[in-house]
Structure 1
Amino acid sequence: MSNEQLLEKIHLVVEKLMNLGGSDYDKDRTVSRTDTKKGIIQRDFGIEEWDWPQGVGLYGLYKLQDFYEDGRYLPFFEKWYSGHVDKGLPSKNINTTAPFLPLSYLYESLTKSGDFKELCEKRADWLMNELPKTPDNGFQHVTSAIGDRNGVSLNEGQLWVDTLFMSVLFLNNMANQSGRQDWKNEAIHQFLVHIKYLFDKKTGLFHHGFRFDKMDNFGGIFWCRGNSWFTYGIMEYLDNCKEELNEGVRTFFIDTFKSQAEALLKLQAPSGLWHTVLTDDTSYEEVSGSAAIAAGLLRGVKAGILNESFQAAADRAIAAICENISEDGTVLNVSAGTGIGMTADHYKNILIMPMAYGQALALTALCEALEK
């Protein structure tokens, strides 16, 4: 697709992302357990709350601003972050750390840059010293409590692949910004420990999570968006580290990425997308995970890590993503928030709804496809 065609889609997606509105924590007080199993969590649907869907959304918007090499969205960022500081942030957890990732790149351009820098540094310090840890000192995947802005769900002794994108990328970037080698070392450790417990040697794919109380990967399901957090996240991480990363560690990460990419290549549907349960072609095809996979594959090709067969696969995915963008810019066929399940049906039963991260990940993939 030409840059002109891609930019037309991009601007539709961005306009929708910035005007998604908001659904708040209070509405979740009436959500039933059955609803949450389908992914119906009200705070996730808009752009106005402070949690992981919004954090991923803002990161996609930052990436587009970076492509243009100007500050065209700074007024939006200024209003969003300043408004939340005035309101007061929700509980500290892995998922509410996600909005700090774009902020760690943006704070120097915001009016109260010193205050925002201090806010980022305090959150990085919290990850290091106060966030509960699993055995092997992994970041426990503590999440926001449903219906309680100040509460958390501990998910005790659990590692989730989402953590790498939601918190570890931020910690690593703050290590660069602040010159903190201890933070940089911890980011390396978290990638290593998550690979140790979540990478499946037989398939080359990633499990959604691991629990230390039973020493297993829950139901052993290979979830599309979960895998995509690694596909795209590891390339973001390697680029952020530049040449500072130990060469042996870098090679280990690249080899893991290549193994996963080869597995994903075999599982791509004829449409160009991937199924929400990667190994189950009766599960629906899901756009947000497919978009992050495409973005990661494109980055891998540009870096010379992956060969041209991956370019062709990514191009098919980009075309499919564009077909799933409605006339008003809504990214279609995006699965709602997804906790860990024991069966494929758990993932297949998650509702399809417009989400901030669906807009953002489609945006990210399309930006990666642009020719500079």
Structure 2
Amino acid sequence: MNSTYANNANKVWQEMIKDHSGEWGMDIHHWDWVPGVGVIAMLEYYEATRHSEVMAYLQEWVKLNSEKAKGTKVINSIAPYAIFPALYRATNDEWFRDEAVRVAEWLIKETPRTREDAFEHTVTENVAFAEQVWADTIFMAVLFLARTASLVGNITYAEEALKQVLIHLRVLQDDETNVLFHGWNCASGDHMSAARWTRANAWIAAGIPLIVEEIKQLVVIPDELQERYGRLMSGLLAYQQEDGLWSTVMDQPHFDREVSGSAGIAYGLLKGMEQGLIPRREETAASVERVFTSIFPYITEEGVVNGVSGGTPVMPTIQAYQDDIPTYPTLYGQGLVLMLFAKVLQMEMVKHG
């Protein structure tokens, strides 16, 4: 096992579980998408390493925080539930399975939808984005639905997950560059500021192969999904900067580099090849290696991942993504980097038996 990846992964994880009370980006003890991405990544780390302390932490985290989920039924607050199917398999505690089914039923039957039948992106903050489709939804909610479909063998859940993936790709993918816009406004019929935001692309680059892995035994994966995903990943590679990372808005090379989005895209490249969604190519592996080389300097000795932009709605202008969004450590930044490291560790373990 490569000690560099193993050591850095452990440092990043250890930093995530420290007491960061009062820090929006790093406080893991609430119920929303930020800690949700964190625990999803920790599960990936556990599945790559089988470190028992990681699984023990996830179970304890749910015990400490599940009460905070009550009354918070929005797309972004679904993210933490994505670990419930795995926790059920690990513990045989039926509460995890029953909660997963309960939340999946809410998604299927009650969550607000746009006129295209996409899940409307809803958030815990007191703000609404009526009739808006955001790339984030795929990772924050559809991944959970796919995992629950696999857990209970529910074809309806799997079909809905597949439908949501296809709708999001159809309305967000730019036919000219093949990458994704951050959002789509169904009412006005446009992409609003039309930002090709890197982390939006990362949510879908990483999310789709994870979803396909869960539902492919229940539904046929159509050619359209593979074709669109392949075009997306090729388009993303065209925007990788010489230093190995992507800018906050990828077609603005003078913008700051964005580590979380870059890690998520690199993870998607590896997972996409693993799932057969994109071809295995040496040049793709070389692009991922460049991401590693560039990310390491952003990780402090304590395991803090720097170079991560803050929580980002669809901004009114492209320049606002650079000027109005601060950069600071976050659980999703830690998490996407941890997922990337975990995937490499897992691949090495498979290779060396």
SS of equivalent to 1:195: helix
Q: Given the alignment of the two structures, is residue 267 of structure 1 paired with residue 239 of structure 2, yes or no? A: yes
**CA distances 1:4-62 after superposition (whole Å, capped 9, x unpaired):** 11111111101001115233xxxxxxxxxxxxxxxxxx644311111101011001111
CA RMSD in angstroms comes to: 1.7
2:27 counterpart (23, 46, 56) = 46
Give the distance between the partners of 2:332 and 2:227, measured in 1 at CA.
28
**CA distances 1:282-340 after superposition (whole Å, capped 9, x unpaired):** 11000000000011112233445232211100000011111211011000100110000
- Greater shift, 253-262 or 64-73, is seen at 64-73
1:368 counterpart (319, 323, 343) = 343
Q: Given the alignment of the two structures, is residue 283 of structure 1 paired with residue 263 of structure 2, yes or no? A: no
1:317 counterpart (291, 302, 308) = 291
2:198: which partner in 1?
224
1:211-250 equivalences under 5 Å are 211-247=185-221, 249=222
**TM-score normalised by the chain length of structure 1:** 0.88
1:159: which partner in 2?
133
Contiguous gaps of at least 5 residues in structure 2: none
1:65 counterpart (35, 46, 52) = 46
**TM-score normalised by the chain length of structure 2:** 0.93
**Does the 8 Å CA contact 1:20/1:356 hold for their aligned counterparts?**
no
1:94 counterpart (72, 75, 81) = 75
Give the distance between the partners of 2:38 and 2:255, measured in 1 at CA.
25
Aligned residues: 344
Give the distance between the partners of 1:81 and 1:266, measured in 2 at CA.
40
1:13: which partner in 2?
12
Give the distance between the partners of 1:14 and 1:47, measured in 2 at CA.
12
Q: Residues 234, 86 of structure 1: CA spacing in aligned structure 2 closer, same or farther, 3 A cutoff? A: closer
1:61-140 equivalences under 5 Å are 61-69=42-50, 71-87=52-68, 89-110=70-91, 113-140=93-120
Q: Residues 99, 88 of structure 1: CA spacing in aligned structure 2 closer, same or farther, 3 A cutoff? A: closer
Opposite residue 290 of structure 2, the aligned amino acid is R
Give the distance between the partners of 2:71 and 2:307, measured in 1 at CA.
29
Give the distance between the partners of 2:241 and 2:162, measured in 1 at CA.
33
Give the distance between the partners of 2:286 and 2:219, measured in 1 at CA.
30
1:175 positional shift? 1.0
**Does the 8 Å CA contact 1:204/1:259 hold for their aligned counterparts?**
yes
2:151: which partner in 1?
177
Give the distance between the partners of 1:342 and 1:182, measured in 2 at CA.
37
SS of equivalent to 1:210: strand
SS of equivalent to 1:79: helix
Q: Given the alignment of the two structures, is residue 334 of structure 1 paired with residue 308 of structure 2, yes or no? A: yes
Opposite residue 196 of structure 1, the aligned amino acid is R
1:348 positional shift? 0.7
1:183 positional shift? 1.0
1:205 counterpart (141, 157, 179) = 179
1:71 positional shift? 3.2
2:122: which partner in 1?
142
1:369 positional shift? 2.2
Give the distance between the partners of 1:363 and 1:74, measured in 2 at CA.
15
**CA distances 1:244-282 after superposition (whole Å, capped 9, x unpaired):** 4315x1x22221121111111111111111001000011
Opposite residue 363 of structure 1, the aligned amino acid is L
Opposite residue 203 of structure 2, the aligned amino acid is W
1:109 positional shift? 2.7
**Does the 8 Å CA contact 1:50/1:90 hold for their aligned counterparts?**
no
SS of equivalent to 1:274: coil
Contiguous gaps of at least 5 residues in structure 1: 24-41, 147-152
Opposite residue 9 of structure 2, the aligned amino acid is I
Opposite residue 362 of structure 1, the aligned amino acid is V
1:150: which partner in 2?
none
SS of equivalent to 1:365: helix
1:232 positional shift? 0.9
1:86 positional shift? 4.1
Give the distance between the partners of 1:193 and 1:224, measured in 2 at CA.
20
**Does the 8 Å CA contact 1:335/1:351 hold for their aligned counterparts?**
yes
Give the distance between the partners of 2:120 and 2:104, measured in 1 at CA.
15
SS of equivalent to 1:285: coil
Give the distance between the partners of 1:86 and 1:130, measured in 2 at CA.
21
Give the distance between the partners of 1:177 and 1:360, measured in 2 at CA.
24
